[in-house]
Copies of this chain bind each other. A is one copy, B any other.
Amino acid sequence: MSAERSIAIFSPGLLGGSLAKTIQQRKPGIEIRIWARRADAVDEVRRDLPGVFASDDLGEVIRGASLAVLCMPVQHMADIARSIASCDLAEDLIVTDVGSVKGGLVSELEAIFAGVQTAFIGSHPMAGSQKTGLTNARGDLFHQAACIITPTENTRQADLDRLRTFWLKLGCRVQEMTPKKHDHTVARISHLPHAMAVLTTLAALGEDASVLDSTAGGFRDTTRIAGGDPAMWAGIFLQNRAEVIAALQDASGVMTELLEMLRTMDEEALRRFLARAKALRDLLPAV
């Protein structure tokens, strides 16, 4: 369980930038190297993250790194992974990611790096914000966040232990599950809520947005994540589409139940239905 000596971060968005800030705060002395595709993004890193090495040259950024973290949108990860795999890599390198979808992606990335005798293990820190980009990066973004890591039958225990230690030291609560179980879980607790926030926003405001003048905290909270980045979420939904469709179908089923209770004015059934939701929601510990 060796400590990391040099960490390469690919793409300096909200997650990549927050990762760099958190490592600087919690593990001072570890070298941080950030790759950005565009020259202006490289300049932004140099300006906003003093002490970090930044470059648009993949080979230069990965050189000597003991851990690499892919932080670009999930739909671009395989391409970047292939480019990294063609570079000169340290023998003890472990590659991970921060993507919201794991199933097909983990198989693909694992195979790419297996071809160059390098370990890949998927990670999904459940941290984020509707505010994207390096300017919104925060050194406390991962604090107390759940981080799901998704080993497979090919994962070596020593590599898994190193990855777990990395996230634990950043302040995450680390959970392990298979990529398939991960995709089911996040469809329920992340992708479904996102979709529902979007649907609530469209149904509430689509016809006449002036109702917003009377908005209270309930609308604000329920729809907050609908402000997220459309391109990123389109990618996530499509990468996890089978599980997202299944979750939305369940939501559609309970919506049909609710509509029926309203139509028949069945107050008793309605109370039980609302009490069932309350009992489930109350399982969530207060912050």
Contact = CB atoms under 8 A, between A and B. Distances in A.
Interface of A: 126-128, 145-146, 148, 175, 184-186, 188-190, 192-207, 209, 211-231, 233-235, 237-238, 241, 244-245, 247-255, 258-259, 262-263, 265, 267, 270-278, 280-284, 287
Contacts of A211: 184-185, 188-189
Given A262-B244, A265-B241, A201 B255 contact: no
Given A199-B254, A202-B254, A175 B238 contact: no
A190 B222 CA distance: 10
A234 B198 contact: no
A251 B192 contact: no
Contact of A203 (B218, B238, B247, B265): B247
Given A204-B193, A225-B222, A238-B262, A214 B126 contact: yes
B201 A189 contact: no
Contacts of A209: 280, 283
Number of copies: 2
Contacts of A220: 284, 287
Contact of A270 (B127, B128, B219, B234): B234
A126 B282 CA distance: 23
Contacts of A194: 218, 222
A216 B146 contact: yes
Contacts of A287: 220
Contacts of A244: 262
Nearest to A275: B230
B267 A234 contact: yes
A250 B203 contact: yes
Q: Which of A218, A221, A275 has the most CB of B within 10 A?
A: A218
A212 B198 CA distance: 21
Contact of A245 (B192, B216, B259, B275): B259
B270 A201 contact: no
A35 B228 CA distance: 46
B270 A206 contact: no
6 contacts: A186-B214, A193-B204, A194-B222, A206-B254, A233-B274, A234-B270
A54 B199 CA distance: 45
A211 to B, nearest CB: 5
B238 A206 contact: no
Nearest to A218: B225
Contacts of A228: 274, 278
A238 B261 CA distance: 9
